[in-house]
Amino acid sequence: MMTENLTLNMNAYLPLRDVVFHTLREAILKGDLKPGERLMELQLASRLGVSRTPIREAIRMLEQEGLAVTIPRKGAEVAKMTLKGMEDVLEIRESLEELAVKLACERITPEQLKKLWEVKESFEDCIRTGEVKRIAEADVLFHDVIYEATANPKLVSILNNLREQIYRYRVEYLKDSGNYPMLICEHKAILEALEERNIPKAIERMRAHVANQAAAVREMIERQE
């Protein structure tokens, strides 16, 4: 049954397909559109008051993020979160995050360190609101500052693409407020290692940060299966 909570989040500055994409993406991440639920073009077009073309284009964009999958002779549906899918993505993330924090240790500027402290504080402010979307965006921004500090545009591009693949897992992780104290400590530990320009310590702390998230999401997926 198509969710009744689905309404188009209009934005005059975005193409219609992007507006539809962001609307569907948010519905999936919030759980309004559930894993395994059909994404039927006609119903979605009628529900959102648009033609089928932007729906079709948005579904393709969701597939690129791993949020939707097309089943032969059945059509598109919301992708289920699987252990294999999570582990594939997080294996790549672990290696790339470690490379990013290593390069950032070597290249981060005083201005970027200052910005990272500000983002860390902003993240903690967002946690106090309890709004998962804002918390996730602040968490992404913390990592973005580290990526920027690598001064390696190609690495940043790869990490940005991967970020979309892990966003769903990040949101699931952040839905559990019990994870927040550990996250705050992990961000602080990573930042201090960067400030010291201690590469082994920075890599170790980033590895623990990614591993803790993976363990929590793995447990959540196992409960659902």
72 and 87 within one domain: no
Residue 9 lies in a domain: no
pLDDT per residue over 3-55, tens digit each? 556 778 766 578 899 999 999 998 888 778 988 999 999 999 999 999 999 99
Domain that holds residue 201: 83-224
Q: How confident is the model at residue 1 (pLDDT cuts 50, 70, 90)?
A: very low
37 and 96 within one domain: no
Q: Is 123 exposed, middle or buried (0-12, 13-18, 19+ CB in 10 A)?
A: buried
Q: What is the CATH number of the domain that holds 42?
A: 1.10.10.10
77 bridge partner residues: 38, 69
**Tell me, what's the pLDDT at 77?**
96
pLDDT per residue over 53-91, tens digit each? 999 999 999 998 889 999 998 899 999 888 888 888 888
Q: Is 184 exposed, middle or buried (0-12, 13-18, 19+ CB in 10 A)?
A: middle
Whether residue 24 contacts residue 61, with contact meaning beta carbons closer than 8 Å, is answered with no
Lowest-confidence region among 59-63, 75-79, 129-133, 219-223 = 219-223
Conformational region of residue 130, where left means phi above 0, alpha means psi within -120 to 50, and beta covers everything else: left
Residue 106 lies in a domain: yes
Tally of domains within the chain: 2
**Tell me, what's the pLDDT at 12?**
59
User: Which of 60, 78, 96 is the C-terminal boundary of a domain?
Assistant: 78
Average pLDDT over residues 155-176: 86
Cα gap 23→28, rounded to integer Å = 9
pLDDT per residue over 139-164, tens digit each? 999 999 999 999 999 999 999 888 87
**Tell me, what's the pLDDT at 3?**
53
**Tell me, what's the pLDDT at 169?**
84
Whether residue 96 contacts residue 159, with contact meaning beta carbons closer than 8 Å, is answered with yes
Whether residue 177 contacts residue 110, with contact meaning beta carbons closer than 8 Å, is answered with no
Q: What is the CATH number of the domain that holds 182?
A: 1.20.120.530
Cα gap 203→193, rounded to integer Å = 9
199 and 118 within one domain: yes
- Judge whether residue 2 has pLDDT over 60: no
**Tell me, what's the pLDDT at 5?**
66
Q: How confident is the model at residue 181 (pLDDT cuts 50, 70, 90)?
A: very high
Residue 87 lies in a domain: yes
pLDDT per residue over 202-214, tens digit each? 999 999 999 998 8
| Host H or E run for residue 158 | helix 153-174
